[in-house]
A and B are shown apart, each in its own frame.
Chain A
Amino acid sequence: DIQMTQSPSTLSASVGDRVTITCRASQSVSNWLAWYQQKPGKAPKLLIYKASSLQSAVPSRFSGSGSGTEFTLTISSLQSDDFATYYCQQYNSYPLTFGGGTKVEIK
């Protein structure tokens, strides 16, 4: 199974900050990687697929990069609506696996 490791697990930031979250795979997943945002009590929402493709209607301040085993999600200027937990997910092979999550908190 491919293990996905996110860092940091918690991140404290202020509105307007540039935020970067890292996701590492235990083996190459090519660019078959997605990112999700989840707010408390709500279903996750797809932000990025194929490592860097922005899902429809997702603000352009979100971007993804990387390939192989190392990936990043960047929020260029953090907004109040962005305080949430973020998950990466590989879909290179079964079982599909998620990272443990990164909680973005208000500093």
Chain B
Amino acid sequence: EVQLLESGGGLVQPGGSLRLSCAASGFTFSSYAMSWVRQAPGKGLEWVSIVTHNGDRAYYADSVKGRFTLSRDNSKNTLSLQVNSLRADDTAVYYCAKSGANYFDSWGQGTLVTVSS
């Protein structure tokens, strides 16, 4: 059974940073692209970033480009999202998702990031 467990969310001041992590199990992690998708309170889904199976390329939404960095450690089955220069509109639940051909076939339970002073 695929399991994705996010961690690292919390309350942070505007301009601050966090590191979100996703621990994966139940599948061959190194064979799949992995993504983050976020959802602001009461709003729809927004794709944030995706990294290729071997970590050689990552793509970002324009709204986070230059502020967020996605990486993975295939030896530890872990995905990490470094989020810097946080703004109020980054407040959201952040979901880690297993990406089959750039759609999302398994999701974690999410971690809440709240940006507020």
Q: Which residues of A contact B (CB under 8 A)?
A: 1, 32, 34, 36, 38, 43-46, 49, 55, 87, 89, 91, 94-101
Cβ contacts under 8 Å, A94 to chain B:
50, 59
Q: Flag whether B44 is at the interface (Cβ < 8 A).
A: yes
- Rounded to whole Å, the gap between the CB of B1 and the closest CB of chain A is 12
CB of A95, distance to nearest CB on chain B (Å): 5
Q: Which secondary structure characterizes the binding site on chain B?
A: strand
Interface residues of B in 9-59 (CB under 8 A from A): 35, 37, 44-47, 50, 59
Prevailing SS type, chain A contact patch: loop
Show the binding face of B for A, using Cβ within 8 Å: 35, 37, 44-47, 50, 59-62, 95, 100-110
Check if A91 sits within 8 Å of B61, measured CB to CB: no
Apart from A87-B44, A95-B47, A96-B50, 17 more pairs, CB < 8 Å? A1-B62, A32-B102, A34-B103, A38-B45, A46-B105, A49-B105, A89-B47, A89-B103, A91-B101, A91-B103, A95-B61, A95-B62, A96-B47, A98-B45, A98-B47, A100-B44, A101-B44
Determine whether the beta carbon of B45 is less than 8 Å from that of A87: yes
The 8 closest A-B pairs by CB, nearest first: A91-B102, A43-B107, A34-B103, A96-B47, A98-B45, A101-B44, A94-B59, A46-B105
For A34, the chain B residues whose CB sits under 8 A away are 103-104
Complexed CA–CA distance, A46 and B107 (Å): 9
